[in-house]
Amino acid sequence: MTRFDSVLRLGDDALVAAQRMAHWCACAPQLEEDVALANIALDLLGQARALLTYAGGIEGAGRDEDRLAYQRDEREFTNALLVELPDADFAVAVVKLLFFATYQNLLYQRLATGADTTLAGIAGKAVKETKYHVEHATRWTLRLGDGTVESRRRAQAAVDGLWPFTHELFEPDPLAPVDPAGLREPWAALVRPVLTRATLVVPDDDWRPTGGRVGLHTEGFGYLLGEMQSVHRAHPGARW
């Protein structure tokens, strides 16, 4: 686990989350959400660009943000599985954002005061952004969980489907600038009360899917990359 690897993970998480979130643009339940979700996607994309650029610099092999985003294959991406899961409906998007943004916010808070000043700079900006993402996801989790019978059913299904994937976020990595293992407790302390207030139930921890950090992804991920990289790869060496 090199410094390049750990920054790359952060960048891949943000990039893939941005790519999924961007799908909601012009597909949201109301116009205000088109604006809000596009905003969140833009924040995530901005984080991804800064992190991938920094990772490329650490590596020193001349790979910039686009080389890293567009010219790696599935097996070379190290994002957590959670962020690559497709958004079957708005409830999945909201609950996923609640889980992921809370994790990111805790992580960025610690990185912002860490020894790596470049990373601290990137994280400092991202702390504010992810704080807003958490607030947005919280508001919607409450509305959906405590809204109608139908919205509660969908929100619960989203929690049931996504919760198992949260474990991977906190797998120990003692060499990383911040070991994610230490974030599980504070994360649960933030997320559980939101779910409870939303009348949602946390499922059993019986399944803990993993693999993203070593490039073992879900089957759907190849399609996400294929779509994202298609134009870039069709024109090798072109400028955009």
Partner 1 sequence: MEHTDLAAQRPPGSELLAEQVDAAERDLLAAARPQRRAVGQASFDALIDGEHKVEPTDWMPEGYRAGLIRQIAQHAHSEVVGMQPERNWITRAPSLRRKAILLAKVQDEAGHGLYLYSAAETLGVSREWMLDALHEGRQRYLSFINYPTLTWADVGALAWLTDGAAVVNQVTLCRSSYGPYARAMVRVCREESFHHRQGFDALRVLAAGTPAQRAMAQDAVDRWWYPALAMFGPPHNRSTHSDRSMAWKIKRFSNDELRQRFVDICVPQAEVLGVRLPDPALRWNAERGHHDFTEPDWDELRRVVAGHGPCNRQRMDHRRRVHEDGAWVREAATAYAAKHHGGPQHSTAHQGAPAARQGLPA
Which residues would be at the binding site for partner 1 (CB under 8 A)? 15, 19, 22-23, 25-36, 38-39, 41-43, 45-46, 48-50, 52, 65-66, 69-70, 89-90, 125, 129, 132, 135-136, 139-140, 142-144, 146-148, 150-151, 154, 227-228, 230-232, 235, 237-240
Q: Residue 90 or residue 170: which is nearer to partner 1 going by CB?
A: 90
With CA atoms as reference, report the closest residue to 8 among 67, 62, 52, 73. Answer: 52
Q: Residue 76 or residue 135: which is nearer to partner 1 going by CB?
A: 135
Q: Residue 39 or residue 218: which is nearer to partner 1 going by CB?
A: 39
CA distance 21 to 37: 7
CA distance 209 to 204: 13
Sequence-distant (6+) residues with CB within 8 A of 27 are 34
The 10 Å Cβ neighbour count of residue 59 is: 16
Q: Residue 172 or residue 193: which is nearer to partner 1 going by CB?
A: 193
Supply the minimum distance, in Å, between the C-beta of residue 230 and partner 1. Answer: 6
With CA atoms as reference, report the closest residue to 40 among 23, 55, 65. Answer: 23
Supply the minimum distance, in Å, between the C-beta of residue 128 and partner 1. Answer: 10
Q: Residue 65 or residue 168: which is nearer to partner 1 going by CB?
A: 65
CA distance 49 to 43: 10
Supply the minimum distance, in Å, between the C-beta of residue 84 and partner 1. Answer: 13
Supply the minimum distance, in Å, between the C-beta of residue 171 and partner 1. Answer: 27
Q: Residue 182 or residue 199: which is nearer to partner 1 going by CB?
A: 199
Supply the minimum distance, in Å, between the C-beta of residue 78 and partner 1. Answer: 17
Supply the minimum distance, in Å, between the C-beta of residue 153 and partner 1. Answer: 10
